[in-house]
Amino acid sequence: MTVLNFIFYFLEAVAALSAISIIFIRNVFYGALLLITCLLALAGIYVLAFAEFIAVTQILIYAGGILVIIIFGIMLTSKISGKSLMVEHTNLFSGVLAGLTFLGLLLYFISSQKFNPFSTAKPTPEKSIQAFGTGLMTDFILPFEIAGLLLLVALIGAAVVASSIKSKNS
């Protein structure tokens, strides 16, 4: 077993164990930390698969941005009520049924694909990233700017809510 194989299996185990642990954890804050762990392990797997752009995007957008906002939201809402947020696990049967259905569909579609591991065609990452950036800043500039404005409005709204909570408690 090579070092790269060991690192891959380690990251795979970390991602799988943290994803499974999210299902059984009751504290929402610990669930968010497990989600960060899973997303960072997936970013490591992307690096091993030579998809560095996707790995950096995974870290910046998901682990770095969205989950930090989730953790701040959890910390803010737990201060309001004075007790920690706990999740009750209800509808266990329907959740397991839905999960097994999606697993079956995923396995069906993956097994129906034809993968050729000995393909000699290698994509050039520089050109694909350049095409992505060019498309983002030309053809998709309106959705890109709208997403930026929505994030700005959400940030201002969170600041207003946090300041009104602080002034009510004073």
CATH of the domain at 8: 1.20.120.1200
Q: Is residue 83 part of a domain?
A: yes
Same domain, 75 and 135: no
- Domain boundary, last residue among 60, 87, 114: 87
- Partners of 27 in beta bridges: 86
pLDDT at 99 over 70: yes
Is residue 105 in some structural domain? no
Q: Is 100 inside a domain boundary? A: no
Residue 106 within any structural domain of the chain: no
Return all residues near 59 (Cβ < 8 A) that are at least 6 apart: 39, 40, 43
DSSP 67-105: HHHHHHHHHHHHHHHSS--B-----HHHHHHHHHHHHHH
Q: What are phi and psi of 121, to 5 degrees?
A: -75, 120
User: Domain check: are 5 and 56 in the same one?
Assistant: yes
Given pLDDT bands bounded at 50, 70 and 90, which one contains residue 7? very high
- Looking at the fold, whether 4 and 83 belong to one and the same domain comes out as yes
Q: What is the pLDDT of residue 44?
A: 93
Phi/psi at 86 (nearest 5 deg)? -120, 145
Assess if residue 94 is contained within a domain.
no
* One domain for residues 132 and 82: no
pLDDT at 14 over 90: yes
81/11 same-domain check: yes
- Asked if 77 and 132 sit in the same domain, the reply is no
Q: For 107-120, write each residue's pLDDT tens digit.
A: 998 888 887 766 66
Do residues 1 and 49 both lie within one domain? yes
Q: Does one domain contain both 81 and 142? A: no
Same domain (yes/no): 1, 80: yes
CB atoms within 10 A of CB 34: 20
What lies within 8 Å, CB to CB, of 125 at 6+ separation is: 50, 52, 53
Which domain range does residue 60 map to? 1-87
pTM, two decimals, is 0.57
In a domain, 96, yes or no: no
pLDDT tens across 33-75, in order?
Answer: 888 899 899 999 999 988 888 888 888 888 777 777 777 777 6
Q: Do residue 80 and residue 138 come from a single domain?
A: no
Tell me what pLDDT residue 117 has. 65
Does residue 102 sit within a domain? no
Q: Are residues 72 and 2 in the same domain?
A: yes
The torsion of the CA quartet 129, 135, 136, 141, rounded to 10 degrees, works out to 170
Confidence of residue 100 (pLDDT cuts 50, 70, 90): very high
Report pLDDT for 164.
61
Nearest partner of 87 among 35, 146, 28, 29, judged by Cα: 28
Query: From CA 161, how far away is CA 15, in angstroms rounded?
Result: 34
Provide the domain count of the chain. Answer: 2
Considering the domain boundaries, does residue 95 fall inside one? no
The reported pLDDT for the residue numbered 79 is 57
pLDDT-derived band at 101 (thresholds 50, 70, 90) equals: very high
Q: What is the pLDDT of residues 106-152, one digit of tens each?
A: 999 888 888 776 666 666 666 677 787 788 788 888 888 888 888 88
Q: What is the mean pLDDT of residues 85-114?
A: 83
